[in-house]
Structure 1
Amino acid sequence: MKNILVTGAAGFIGSNLVLELFKEGPYHIIGIDNMNDYYDVSIKEWRLEEIEKNIKKNKWTFIKGNIADKTLIEKIFEEYKPSIVVNLAAQAGVRYSITNPDAYIESNIIGFNNILEACRHSYDDGNNGVEHLIYASSSSVYGSNKKVPYSTDDKVDNPISLYAATKKSNELMAHAYSKLYNIPSTGLRFFTVYGPAGRPDMAYFGFTNKLIKGETIEIFNYGNCKRDFTYIDDIVDGIIRVIKKAPEKKIGGDGLPIPPYALYNIGNSKPENLLDFVSILQEELIRAEVLPSDYDFEAHKKLVPMQAGDVPITYADTSALERDFGFKPSTDLRTGLRKFAEWYKEFYIDGKR
């Protein structure tokens, strides 16, 4: 039974990854999450309950803790000796990085460094060590690049938020450790992930919360934003494909390791206009009876300028991921938003939360 460490296991992507791995097992999955209150903790608790219901033939160990706690991370690696590490723990969000930068340094820099160090020392004393480190990066690293679609070959040295800077730092740190210690690592630049039990700080979730309260939603850049919305099931499918195929270890002509390092975009490769996205969301919220059929949407919509740290378009070139892993997202926007609207009704309205 292979041991897999998933950090951020109560998070949106992390919890869905654990559930999908359970279907493939048997695995012993060690999950860690600090359960912070950046957003509604009851959603994180609900995700963990779903995991507990679906363990089946697998083994599940959950640890409430912070990856910035070096002693804790060392203890986890020493006790469980994970062969696969999926680092999804991070302080997310562009706008929050402007108001609370310390949280990003702690989790995204110090925390990730602890993971890298633990991976490095997993090879001590001739041990087999970590076979593959997979970690979350973000489409935010592309900043205000004018060239679209975004490619991993593009230069990304001009971040426009601290969040983006920490994610670019993760890529550089992972590359250095791959080179120095021959650790196979793969970074995934995520593009606007959405779906049931997602993050409430994401636009589609925030819009829904405001509409149900009769508040006005603000659509940035006067509605001229485009996002490469990617449904959670497609994202998880891509991660699992990547997990199974670590970059190959090779020795270069100088007798030193060629870094077993890879970096991919993981997105839908089909940007959608934010106004179209909001229209479909409204229709699906009415269909799911989250909003009444006569809801006056126009009276609750306001077009506003772009916010600091945001970008007008995200658009993933996923050809490399398709070439190497056969990854091809299959969930259309309406289907994905329908599933979100149905979950929202079940969780907040029927569940009376």
Structure 2
Amino acid sequence: MLKKSQVTMKTLMLLTLLGTVLHDATAVPHSLKYFYTGSSGVPNFPEFVAVGYVDDVQMIHYDSNTRRAEPKQDWMRRGTAEDPDYWQRSTDLAVGEQQSFKSNIEIVKQRFNQTGDTGIHLYQEMYGCEWDDETQDVNGFDQVGYDGEDFVVLDMRTDTWIAPTPQAVITKHKWDNNRAQIAQDKNYLTQICPEWVKKYVDYGRSSLLRTDLPSVSLLQKTSSSPVSCHATGFYPNSAVMFWRKDGAELHEDVDHGEILPNHDGSFQMSVELKLPSESSADWGKYECVFQLSGVKEDIVTKLGTKAIRTNEGNSMHVTIGIIAAVLVLALALIAAVVFMLKKRNGERPKQKHEVILFSL
């Protein structure tokens, strides 16, 4: 099961949280995240979905329609072959969470005076951990949200729950008093979860640990439009891109886009520069820099009239590519409206989706 990150529910999947850009692309932290989503009033959508991600690659899926946990990657199928009960345990855990979420979403609706409301409502949880294979640092997280807003969030420093909304205060006090459960969850997030990160990364080593460099292009819709530096086809998604002038990074007149997934599992991103007012003869002072985790050399593209692609065909091609990436991301976000978990005793290490979400 996933536990939370110090991120709001609105930015659950926006893992480009590198607000303080240090442009250090050497360490590649690995992550395990579970997303559970209980829904009410959503037509043609399962009332409960649970998905698990390793390094932002979906590897497991369960929903209340199929009632079966299934691998989403071939390497998960192969890796778990040594544990014949893995998928049945995963299914049993998800079924239990499904019942819990069905009950909790009704409780939350009562808290918000929405009893009898036939509108669309989502009750979600995200939990898991990030593990740095170089420093061995571990960051565990667990957060619960309702209708896109934080509901309760576990503070790993104080071992207490934070209630951003008055309707969650009852839950905060109830969960804060369950010290045994908090200790159990913290042990999972900081000790057990990293074990599974290592195991899953090893399962998908050939795919998850690969490094693909991007194709970088300078694009411009019209002569008065900003110049977009567009990189596509890179992996992993631990990358940064920025504009600089005379070797110094620019912050003004620059618009950074999000990292988006491509249909083939690679990623794309872009950063726009409002054209400098000086003569195009001085554009050589400007350059776009792309940095990928694990790769020492930067990909540097100098600004110049000959380097910019402006014909309609190229621009349309890139636009369609970005739209496709947004659709892929949207589908991933829909799939990520789920989380599964429960903790059980056993000889094998507990699976990540084995944390009990107690009632509200």
- If the length of structure 1 is used for normalisation, what is the TM-score? 0.22
Q: By percentage of residues, which structure has more helix?
A: 1
Q: Could you say which structure has the larger radius of gyration?
A: 2
- If the length of structure 2 is used for normalisation, what is the TM-score? 0.22
Higher relative contact order (CA 8 A, sep 6+): 2
